[in-house]
Amino acid sequence: MVQKQHAVRAYRNALFVYKQNPWSYINNHVHFNVGRWYGVLGIFDVAIKHLLEVIACSHQSLTTQSMFLNDFFHFVQSTGEKFDVYKLQLPVFNMSSLRVVNEDHRTYASNADVDVNESIWQELEEELIPSSSVVRTNWLDTQPKSSPFRNNKACVCVAGEAVKLNVELKNPLQISVNVSGISLICQLSTNLNASETGALTTAAEEDIASTKPSISTFESDGNNFTVSKLDIVLGGGETKRIQLEVTPKVIGILKLVGIRWTLSDSVVGYQYFEVATQKKNKKGKRGARRSLNTNLIVIKGLPKLTGYIECLPTKAFTGDLQLLTLNLRNQSEHAVKNIKMKISHPRFVIPGDSSDLDLEFPQCLRKHVQSDSNTVSEGTKENVKGSLFAFPQGIKIQGGTTFSWPLWFHAATPGNFSLYLSLYYEMESTTDIPYRTLRMHYNVEVLPSLDVSFAISMCSSRLQEYIVRMDVINKTPSDSFALNQLSCVGTKWAVSTLPSRDSISFVETIPANQAVSCFFKIKDLSTSSCIEAADGSCGSDIVLSPGGSTDVFDVSRTPITDFHYQERHQQGKLAKVPRGLLDFILISKAVAVNSSKSEQLLSHHTCHCSALSQNPVWWLMEGPRTITHDFSKSCCEANIQLVIHNSSEHNTTVRVVTSDCMAEKSQTAPSHESASGQGGWHDVSLENDIKAIASTKGTHSQKQSSESISPFVWCSLSSAQVDLKPDSSAKIPLKVCIFAPGTYNFSTYELHWKVHSSESGHVDENVTSGGGQGYPFYVNVLQGA
């Protein structure tokens, strides 16, 4: 016994020698031996005190750490009771990571929404919430004296709603440790007036920081608040971030004092929040206040909405179109009203109508009844749904009920984007806070799918008709898509297939990493002459899938038309489509590998494709293509007419000049050398524009030179002039005298125009005047009996 006591004295004296030296291994050795010898002597409290200095030594080996920890728990268990240790070093709590999450008028749908920068929410809610924190019914109302907002230094929480604290803890050892009963140490006073909060809570903080009272001082008061308890196992060197909760039950002042926990069911550790208090500087002014506010004013319970968007995808293909549901639940006993919603990306998510809840998607978008008007209107600014949406005025969410509202989702562009939604609602009954907001945040990754582009060229054989080439590239590495439908936007356009529809117009599927080009014909129906000449087979939609005339989607209804306006706005286009420009909507479907998977619909929007040439005047020759005449009796007279259209916004004078013999270069096709650097479509004339057949019955066989005598002459005036108003057309009758049967090209005419400026607008210098040669117009003349 004497030798043991002597060993204790020797090690204690060594402590004074090495106390000021940073020799961690020597200090650990001395503390451990002092504690072990006190334990051998049965003085367990002193033994435990010294062993506490070495249980968190992260620099020691695994064997040494196990020895220190085993001896520590052995002496603790020998006492037969639990020890309360202030600032227990195992585990290590990172107090700089503390964050208090309390909900006042701002509530959150999930823990991840809390981490969003407050400035993002404030910018989103600028038009959503009132400018003042207290809503007044008129200008005579004043803020009540008992309002919790009179004290700006304290935060506000609501009775019955959890206050959360996030903190990070770490196990410095290489050994796993069991930490149980982690909870908050709190105080709740029901006697303090809100006006006294600032002074009293500051004094309480300074008192706790200086006296460090025992944990028994803060026994949990189950009548005033409840705290959550968390049990975890920390592996060697592991760091975890945990969330602790306290739920106040009564109004008053709630103070978050510290954290308590139990290590291996043996030692109770606790630590108080060391918050830097304000101090006066030399000029007598207060210094910067602490960043962590642990004092909260508890106000009377409020109605609270919780919510989520059902089936919102985390990954989607570009163009993916889905019908989602926003579910809101009122957890209180009182109703809420005047609900509004702000969406950060209306290009991706727009609210639907109440009737959309009962729809089956995508069957709801199919055309079930053929109507005369099935096109997307060109629209105005009022058609575009903004990011602020007000629910119908009569809607109230009663206490304990769930409310659902449809949302339409469209993956507009590839990339990663964050979707933010904030819902505003007011309390039906009088409360301390008259309104609240529910904040929701989602991350969505949009993958590339189809890249769609269009090229439009004028059709020389038909007035105001165009050939459209649609290029589609599948940018996915492994997925295929089926083209379903192409639609024109606007009531003035009609789209139809080319005659060779089976060969170049229709494509069943586009495999991964493949490209395809499709060709169509569109017609401008803006003028009365074109409307009369429109083909009955033309329409605003064209089905691309084989045999798919029964599977046509109505692009004139929500949500396709609403998302199209969003795309037009996003692409910097005008709200109303300018004349000569048109929009396309391509509907496609993802080819599902698994047949049980629901149908996936995609819509791709391309805006303001140009369909006009730079010339202000369009023209077209009309007349019979085949004529039968008996040349033994007389020559043949053919009546044709030239249709001229003024596409400019100004009055235009057009002069037509005919010629019986045009220059040789006008009768030949453009050379490859001159056109090699130009893309698009070119007119290719027949090898021989004029082919005369001099085998008439009853006449002498005679060989005539086509260069000296023309087989036809223009019978009308050699020059005619017409004045055209903006966007108007005129028909000029012409007559041709034909002397022999054959195939003739009546393109030996020229047009010259001049655009007159008006007070309403300025004429572009490049199009004030100009001209053009006639388009090929072939007529077959046959010998009659």
Quickly tell me which residue has 């060697």 as its tokens.
Answer: 236
Phi, psi of 7 (to 5 degrees): -65, -40
When pLDDT is cut at 50, 70 and 90, the band that residue 348 belongs to is very high
Q: Is 549 exposed, middle or buried (CB count within 10 Å of its CB: 0-12, 13-18, 19+)?
A: exposed
Please tell me the predicted confidence (pLDDT) of residue 250.
92
Cα–Cα–Cα angle for 144, 148, 150, rounded to 5 degrees: 70
Dihedral sign, CA of 117, 120, 122, 128? negative
Residues of the chain with CATH 1.25.40: 1-81
Across 574-585, average pLDDT: 68
CATH 3.40.50 assigned to 1-81: no
Please tell me the predicted confidence (pLDDT) of residue 403.
95
Whole-angstrom distance, CA of residue 48 vs CA of residue 43? 9
Average per-residue pLDDT in the chain? 76
Half-sphere exposure of 96 (CA within 13 A, CB side): 0
Whole-angstrom distance, CA of residue 67 vs CA of residue 707? 118
Structure tokens at 650: 């100004």
pLDDT at residue 123 is higher than 80: yes
Across 9-25, average pLDDT: 63
The answer to whether 583 and 605 are in contact (CB under 8 A) is yes
When pLDDT is cut at 50, 70 and 90, the band that residue 20 belongs to is low
When pLDDT is cut at 50, 70 and 90, the band that residue 371 belongs to is very low
The CATH classification of domain 617-661+709-783, taken from the options 3.20.20.70, 1.10.10.10, 3.30.70.890, 2.60.40.10: 2.60.40.10
Specify the range with the lowest mean pLDDT, choosing from 337-341, 577-581, 745-749.
577-581
Across 500-511, average pLDDT: 62
Please tell me the predicted confidence (pLDDT) of residue 18.
61
- Top pLDDT among 432 and 217 is at 432
Please tell me the predicted confidence (pLDDT) of residue 405.
95
Whole-angstrom distance, CA of residue 223 vs CA of residue 221? 5
Q: Is 462 exposed, middle or buried (CB count within 10 Å of its CB: 0-12, 13-18, 19+)?
A: middle
pLDDT digits (tens, 9 = 90+) for 442-476: 999 999 999 999 888 777 666 677 888 889 999 99
Question: What is the rounded (10 degree) CA torsion for 153, 156, 159, 164?
Answer: -100
Please tell me the predicted confidence (pLDDT) of residue 137.
40
pLDDT digits (tens, 9 = 90+) for 68-80: 888 888 778 777 7
Strand ranges, E, within 649-702: 652-658, 691-692
pLDDT digits (tens, 9 = 90+) for 634-645: 889 999 988 888
Across 292-320, average pLDDT: 91
Please tell me the predicted confidence (pLDDT) of residue 678.
39
Helices (H), 197-252: 197-211
The CATH classification number of 305-363+388-447 equals: 2.60.40.10
The answer to whether 747 and 657 are in contact (CB under 8 A) is no
Specify the range with the lowest mean pLDDT, choosing from 170-174, 488-492, 656-660, 746-750.
488-492
Would you tell me how many other CB atoms lie within 10 Å of the CB of residue 508?
12
CATH 3.40.120.10 assigned to 93-192+219-274+292-299: no
CATH 2.60.40 assigned to 450-498+507-526+538-546+555-609: yes
Q: Is 2 exposed, middle or buried (CB count within 10 Å of its CB: 0-12, 13-18, 19+)?
A: exposed
pLDDT digits (tens, 9 = 90+) for 213-256: 666 556 666 788 999 999 999 999 999 999 999 999 999 999 99
What's the chain's Rg over C-alpha atoms?
Answer: 43
Whole-angstrom distance, CA of residue 768 vs CA of residue 749? 21
When pLDDT is cut at 50, 70 and 90, the band that residue 524 belongs to is confident
The total number of residues written for the chain in this structure: 785
Please tell me the predicted confidence (pLDDT) of residue 359.
84
Across 597-619, average pLDDT: 78
Query: Is the preceding omega at residue 559 within 30 degrees of 0, hence cis?
Result: yes
Across 780-784, average pLDDT: 89
When pLDDT is cut at 50, 70 and 90, the band that residue 486 belongs to is confident
The answer to whether 349 and 409 are in contact (CB under 8 A) is yes
Report which residue type is found at 510.
Answer: I
pTM: 0.72
Q: Sort strands 267-272 and 252-263 into parallel, antiparallel or unpaired.
A: antiparallel
Across 500-519, average pLDDT: 72
Please tell me the predicted confidence (pLDDT) of residue 613.
59
Residues of the chain with CATH 2.60.40.10: 93-192+219-274+292-299, 305-363+388-447, 617-661+709-783
Specify the range with the lowest mean pLDDT, choosing from 281-295, 305-319, 466-480.
281-295
Please tell me the predicted confidence (pLDDT) of residue 594.
67
When pLDDT is cut at 50, 70 and 90, the band that residue 12 belongs to is low
Please tell me the predicted confidence (pLDDT) of residue 614.
62
Task: Note every long-range contact of 609-612, with CB atoms under 8 Å and residues 24 or more positions apart, other chains counting.
Answer: 609/454, 609/456, 609/581, 609/582, 609/583, 609/584, 610/456, 610/580, 610/581, 611/456, 611/466, 611/522, 611/524, 611/580, 611/581, 611/582, 612/579, 612/580, 612/581, 612/647
State the DSSP code for 503: I
Task: Spell 3-28 as b/e; 16+ CB within 10 A means b.
Answer: eeeebbeebeebeeeeeeeeeeeebb
pLDDT digits (tens, 9 = 90+) for 27-60: 776 767 777 767 667 777 777 777 777 787 888 8
